[in-house]
Amino acid sequence: MHSPAAVLRLDVDPRSVREARLHLHAVLETAGLEELVDDATLAVSEVVTNAIVHAGTEVLVRVRTAGRAVRVEVEDRGLQAPSRRSYSDSSGTGRGLAMVEDTVRSWGVEELEDGKVVWFEVGDPEGHETTDGTAVHEVPDGTSVQSTRTQDVVRVRLQRVPLLMHVAWQEHAAALLREHLLHSLGDDGGDVLSEHAHASEAMSLLYSQLPVPVLGAAPEELMAGATEPLVTAEDVVLEVPLSTVAHFATLDRLLRRSLEEARAGHFLCPPTQPEIEEMRRWLCSEVARQAAGDTTEVPWVARSDVRVAVVDRVDGAVVHELHAEDGEALVATDESSVVVAVSPAAVELLGYASAEDLLGRRVIAIVPERFRQAHIAGTTLHATNGRDNLLGVPVRVPMVRADGSEVDVELRVDPEAHDEGPVAFVARFRAV
C-alpha cells in the first residue's frame, strides 16, 4: 500500500526541475529511503524536464512511498505520449527515456482526457496501479498506457512521404529547436517554453505515426535498402487531434526562425538542405490545409532544381589545395554539399566540357534520383551529429553524367581538412 501522495505543483519554468528534485529528495529522506535518492532524482529530472519542455503546461508531481520503494507520478496537460527516439549516440538530444529505462524498476504513461501522467517506480514496488487504482496494460516499447481520451481528430492524408528524409529531419529539427530554446529562454520564459512544447508535440505526432524504413547495418545492405521506392510511403493517414493542429504552424515558424539563426552563425547546429526545408513546409501546410477542409491531393514533390542551381560562392582555397593523382577522378564538396573541386579525369568520365560546369553546383546533380533521398538524409545526419556510416567505405554506385545517362563507379568518400581550413568531402572513384 502506497503512502498518501506528497504533491508539488510546478510552473512552466526551467527552475521547476530543481524544485522537483528537492521535493523528491525531502520525501525520500523523511521515509528513510536515502538509497533510492540517486536513481529517483535522475528519473524525475528527465520526466519533469520533458513535461515542461514538451508539454509547456503546469506540472503536478506526486510522490508515494511503500516499504523500500517509491512511485513518482508527473502529470501535465500535454496530449502526446513520450516515445523513445532512435537518435544517434552522438546526437545532443533524444536519449531521456533511455536513461529513465536504465534507472527505474518500471515506468509507464496514462492518458487522461485533458493530459497525461508519466509514472515510474524505483525499489521494490508493491504492484502496478494507476492514479485511480485501475489496471494498466503493457505496450510493445515497454511503457504502460491507459487511454481515456475521446477527443476529436482530423485525418490528414499524406502521399509520397519521403521517409528517410523525415527521419533525418526529425533529428536535425530537434537539435535546432533545442538551440533555439536555449538561445531564447532569457527573453520571455514561459512563452518560449510553451511555443517549444507545441512544436515538439507536432514533431512527436509525426514521429509516432510515420513509418521508419528498415535499413541494414552493413554498407551493402544499407545501400540496397536506401533506394526508391523502398524509402517512400505512397499513402499515410495521420490522426491529428484538433487541439494539436495549430501546433504545426508553430513548428514551421520556429524552425524557419531557427534556420535563419543557424545561417547567421548564431547556432552550433548547421542549416540544412533545401529539400529538407521543403518537406517541413509541406508536412506543416498539409495538416493546416486538410484540417481546414481542403482535401485536394497534394503529394510530396521536391521542387529544388538539382541540375542547374549554382551557388554564388566557391571556396577557392579548397579548390587549389585538393590535388588529384594523374588520371584520378575526384569530386570534392564543402559542408553544404556544393562542388568545390573537380579533377580532369572526373570531368571526362562524367561527360562535362569543363570543371566549371560542375563547380558551384550541388553535388546531388550527379546522384541518380533513386538515391537522392538517401544522400540528402545521410548528409543531414552527418551535419547534425557526425553520423558517418558510409564515409571511408568503398561502395559501388551509379553516377549521373552530363547527358543524363549513368555510369557505374567504385567510389570512396573521405573528409579532408587542409591548412586548418574548412572540411571538404572528397569522392575518389573509377568506372567499373
- Whether 346 and 267 map to the same domain: the answer is no
Split at pLDDT 50, 70, 90, the class of 152 is confident
SS3 category, 399: strand
Mean pLDDT within 104-132 = 76
Could you tell me the pTM of the whole model? Answer: 0.74
Q: Is residue 261 assigned to a domain?
A: yes
| Cis before 4? omega within 30 | no
Please tell me whether residues 325 and 353 are part of one structural domain.
Answer: yes
Q: Can you tell me the distance from the alpha carbon of 310 to that of 295, in angstroms, rounded to the nearest whole number?
A: 36
- Residue 61 CA to residue 9 CA, distance in Å, equals 6
Average pLDDT over residues 370-380: 92
Helices (H), 92-218: 96-103, 163-188, 190-209
Handedness of CA 84, 87, 88, 94 (dihedral sign): negative
Q: Are residues 117 and 188 both part of a single domain?
A: no
Residues 174 and 110 in one domain: no
- What is the reported pLDDT for 150? 54
6 three-class SS: strand
420: domain CATH number is 3.30.450.20
* Range 373-387 average pLDDT: 88
Q: Do 49 and 126 reside in the same domain of the chain?
A: yes
Please report which confidence band the pLDDT of residue 111 belongs to, taking 50, 70 and 90 as the band edges: confident
> Torsion angle of alpha carbons 314, 320, 323, 327, nearest 10°?
70
Domain span at residue 340 reads: 316-431
State the average pLDDT over residues 101-120.
Answer: 86
pLDDT tens, position by position, 177-220: 989 888 887 665 557 888 888 898 899 899 989 998 887 777 77
Query: Which of 131, 146, 161 is the C-terminal boundary of a domain?
Result: 146
71-105: burial string, b at 16+ Cβ within 10 Å, e else? bbbbbbbbbbbbeebebbeebbebbbbeebbebbe
* 100 and 166 within one domain: no
Looking at residue 84, what is its pLDDT? Answer: 58
Grid coordinates belonging to 401: 553524367
Calpha distance 116→57 (Å, rounded): 11
In the prediction, which pLDDT does 357 show?
92
Give, in order, the Cα–Cα distances in Å from 95 to each of 19, 99, 174, 282.
22, 6, 12, 28
Q: Is 208 domain-assigned? A: yes
Kindly state the average pLDDT of the residues 230-242. Answer: 94
| pLDDT over 70 percentage in the chain | 82
> Average per-residue pLDDT in the chain?
83
Q: What number is the average pLDDT over the span 354-373?
A: 92
Tell whether the model's pLDDT for residue 129 goes beyond 60.
Answer: no
Residue 305 lies in a domain: no
Tell me the three state secondary structure of residue 71: strand
pLDDT per residue as tens digits for the range 328-352: 999 999 888 889 889 999 999 999 9
∠ CA 417-418-423, rounded to 5°: 30
Q: What is the average pLDDT across 250-259?
A: 95
pLDDT reading at 168 higher than 70: yes
Considering the chain, what percentage of its residues have pLDDT values greater than 90? 46
Pair 142, 12 in one domain: yes
Cell for 61?
Answer: 508531481
Interval 396-421: pLDDT, tens: 999 999 999 999 999 999 988 766 66
Question: What's the number of domains the chain is made of?
Answer: 3
- Residue 353: its pLDDT value, please? 96
Reported as a single tens digit per residue, the pLDDT across 53-103 is 777 778 999 999 988 899 999 998 887 766 655 544 444 444 456 677 878
Rounded average pLDDT over 6-18: 84
Whether 136 has a pLDDT exceeding 50, the answer reads no
* Phi, then psi, of 171 in degrees rounded to 5: -70, -40
pLDDT exceeds 90 at position 6:
no
Range name among 51-55, 170-174, 362-366 with the lowest pLDDT average = 51-55
Assign 260 a pLDDT band (cuts: 50, 70, 90).
very high
Q: Does residue 306 lie in a domain region?
A: no
pLDDT given for residue 236 in this prediction: 95
Predicted confidence band at 315 (pLDDT cuts at 50, 70, 90)? low
CATH of the domain at 142: 3.30.565.10
Answer whether residue 78 is part of any domain: yes
